[in-house]
């Protein structure tokens, strides 16, 4: 399975000590050079920096189509998001892990399958890697993950409906 991750999920999963979910769920994960630089070099000393640098299960790859990446950047995407989208198309990725709303809209328009940090927590909980989804969600918010209160409540209610017999 070819899985590509953006910076936000790497940073936030590291911050709540759940970066290990990615290799548990997917084996190997690919990050574009731009994402690696953002997490490891530009954010040295912050959550995710050391963990990503030391992760043997992360493969760092270069984007080939720089022109497509530049075009996406002009529309407001960050370098990491644009690189993830282009690399996902180049590698015919099975899954893209990103949180940015605009990037997710692009992924949808490109026909790419995607999930975000919360989706990873949900999947990991369903597979038994996390015992308490609501606690993981609280930890995520405490780490600085941005989520509107209304969306948080919607996710919590959906989770409770799924787990209530």
Conformation bin of residue 144: beta by default, left when phi > 0, alpha when psi is -120 to 50: left
Strands (E), the chain: 3-5, 29-32, 58-61, 95-97, 114-115
Residue 63: the pLDDT is 97
Structural domain range at position 134 = 1-165
Q: Which residues pair with 9 in a beta bridge?
A: none
Calculate mean pLDDT across residues 138-155.
85
Which residues lie closer than 8 Å to 87 by C-beta, 6 or more apart? 4, 30, 32, 61, 63, 93
How many angstroms separate the Cα of 138 from the Cα of each of 13, 98, 132, 146? 12, 19, 10, 12
Whether 81 contacts 102, CB under 8 Å: yes
The number of distinct structural domains making up the chain is: 1
pLDDT, tens digit, 9 for 90 and up, residues 66-89: 999 999 999 899 999 999 999 999
Q: 3-state DSSP call for residue 52?
A: helix
Q: Cβ(112)–Cβ(6) under 8 Å? A: no
pTM greater than 0.85 (yes/no):
yes
Domain CATH code at residue 42? 3.40.50.1010
pLDDT tens-place string over residues 37-57: 999 999 888 888 999 999 999
Query: What is the structure's pLDDT at 98?
Result: 96
């Amino acid at each position: 399975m070819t899985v590509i991750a953006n910076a936000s999920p790497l940073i936030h999963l590291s911050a709540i000590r759940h970066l290990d979910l990615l290799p548990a769920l997917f084996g190997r994960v690919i990050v574009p050079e731009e994402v690696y630089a953002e997490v490891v070099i530009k954010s040295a000393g912050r959550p995710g920096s050391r963990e990503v640098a030391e992760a043997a299960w992360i493969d760092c790859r270069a984007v080939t189509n720089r022109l497509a990446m530049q075009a996406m950047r002009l529309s407001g995407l960050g370098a990491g998001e644009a690189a993830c989208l282009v690399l996902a198309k180049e590698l015919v990725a099975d899954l893209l892990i990103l949180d940015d709303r605009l990037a997710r809209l692009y992924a949808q328009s490109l026909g790419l399958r995607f999930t975000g940090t919360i989706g990873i927590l949900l999947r990991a909980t369903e597979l038994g890697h996390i015992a308490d989804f609501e606690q993981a969600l609280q930890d995520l918010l405490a780490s600085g993950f941005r989520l509107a209160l209304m969306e948080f409540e919607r996710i919590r209610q959906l989770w409770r409906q799924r787990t209530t017999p």
